[in-house]
Structure 1
Amino acid sequence: MQTIGLVGGMSWESSAVYYQALNEGVEQRVGGLSSARAMLASVDFAQVTALQEQERWDDVAAILTSAAQGVERAGADFLLLCTTTFHRVADQVEAAVGIPLLHLADVVAEACKAQQVTSVGFLGTEFAMSRSFFTDRLAQHGLEVHVPDPRHHAALNAIIYDELVHGRVLDSSRRTVVGLIEELWDAGAGGLVLGCTELELLVRQPDSELPLFPCTTLHVAAALDRALG
């Protein structure tokens, strides 16, 4: 079994989901008392978020690179960034380490294509929806990507940062997100990418007529394929 390197803390709720899902996956696939071989470096979410808001991306990259190099030195065979928004600096992080980085957008795009979905809606943080670093990477795989109208971005961002990262899961927010999914369906989306780990705490397949592509679940499955393969 290979050792999985995790750069987390963005948010800690997200990292907890990754850690639990990886270990549950190993238990299911291997059995017995088996658990995941993993190295986790957890950064300060407040610090990197403040730098993001100031557009100080080189400083964000330096923090995540240092964390990635730490898990590499500790013996990780490959690397996951346990975040969507901060994949903004994924290329810089990957260039600074000697182990492969399993890019989240590549994993999600392959899952969409495996289900013959060519047009997807994308929900995430306001930053991830309003910038193209992640959606462009999806589009490089031949996917057409739809995002909600900008007038909805602040409300979804508040659901993520004011509720979900603190473990608050509200039915009213679920109804809001389901409404956005329906709008993206009307716009032509044939599937829906949950582009933020915390959204998986709020919305599940029974809530949506569209097939959901939950980023964290897919990222974990791809990591297990690599680690156990």
Structure 2
Amino acid sequence: MSWVSTRTYYEDINQLVQARTSRLTSAPLLIESLDFTDLVRLSTPEQWGHAAGVLADSARRLEQAGATALLIGANSMHKVFDKVAEAVSVPVIHIADVVGARMKADGITNATLLGSRNVVMESFYRKRLVAHGVTLLPPALGDVDEVDRIIYEELMQGKATRAAERTLKTMLTNMGQQGAQAAVLGCTELDMVIDVDANVLPIYDGTRIHAEAAVDWILG
């Protein structure tokens, strides 16, 4: 939804396609990058109803243009996943389902979830992970507020600061001490300030795993 997220998905999908095929191959993609201005920090049923309509209309346009499967490139917008899926006849790949399946395959049963306030506090994302046998640490409200601020006031504007990196690393350290085996990045921009490959906990980057599911579809 943010341009940063769109860039990340585009890079990840194309790099993964090249890794599995050749350096001259690029992924056949249709992208509709929506204006995120009216879709930020939604709270009322009316606002979420509007968001569902915007995304459903977008999904229909992409299907009509020839898309054979769809991704919603924003964790928070998976709250309206069912409405989007109902609007089209092609599969819509749910980010939390592919993350949960990967964690189950790896034997992860206890994890922490990092993301914007609605992703972490509401059930629409969490219940998908729980369905794959993953128990999630209860959210710490102070951490939720700070991560939400970093996402909206920094990352979505393309800013990655050392202060944010230190804050997230401290949170991950504390969560590991509380028993988390791994951390799920439930925000497409968090990899800007979290080292996915070398951190204090194993990191399940939802964006990368979602992109891998898209590549499986493209090359399958």
TM-score by length of 2: 0.95
1:151-188 CA distances to partner (integer Å, 9 max, x unpaired)?
A: 22111111111111111111111111111112221222
* 1:41 Cα offset (Å): 1.1
2:47 corresponds to 1:53: no
* 1:21 Cα offset (Å): 1.2
Number of equivalenced pairs: 219
Aligned pairs (5 A) from 1:184-195? 184-195=175-186
2:110 corresponds to 1:87: no
Task: Report if the CA contact (8 A) 1:61-1:93 is conserved.
Answer: yes
What is the identity, as a one-letter code, of the residue corresponding to 1:94? A
Unaligned stretches of 5+ in structure 2?
none
What is the identity, as a one-letter code, of the residue corresponding to 1:195? G
- Cα distance between partner residues in 2 of 1:133 and 1:178: 26
Equivalent residue of 1:220, what SS? helix
- Cα distance between partner residues in 2 of 1:94 and 1:196: 21
* Range moving further from structure 2, 191-200 or 53-62: 53-62
Partner residue in 1 for 2:4 = 13
Equivalent residue of 1:36, what SS? coil
Equivalent residue of 1:33, what SS? coil
Aligned pairs (5 A) from 1:1-229? 10-49=1-40, 52-55=42-45, 56-205=47-196, 207-229=198-220
- Cα distance between partner residues in 2 of 1:147 and 1:210: 17
What fraction of aligned residue pairs are identical, expressed as a percent? 34
What is the identity, as a one-letter code, of the residue corresponding to 2:73? C
Shift in alpha-carbon separation, 1:170–1:32, aligned structure 2, 3 A:
closer
* Range moving further from structure 2, 114-123 or 21-30: 21-30
Partner residue in 2 for 1:6 = none
RMSD of aligned residue pairs (Cα, Å): 1.3
Unaligned stretches of 5+ in structure 1?
1-9
Which structure 1 residue ranges, 4+ long, deviate > 4 Å from structure 2?
A: none
Task: Report if the CA contact (8 A) 1:42-1:67 is conserved.
Answer: no
Task: Report if the CA contact (8 A) 1:178-1:207 is conserved.
Answer: no
TM-score by length of 1: 0.92
Partner residue in 2 for 1:3 = none
What is the identity, as a one-letter code, of the residue corresponding to 1:96? A
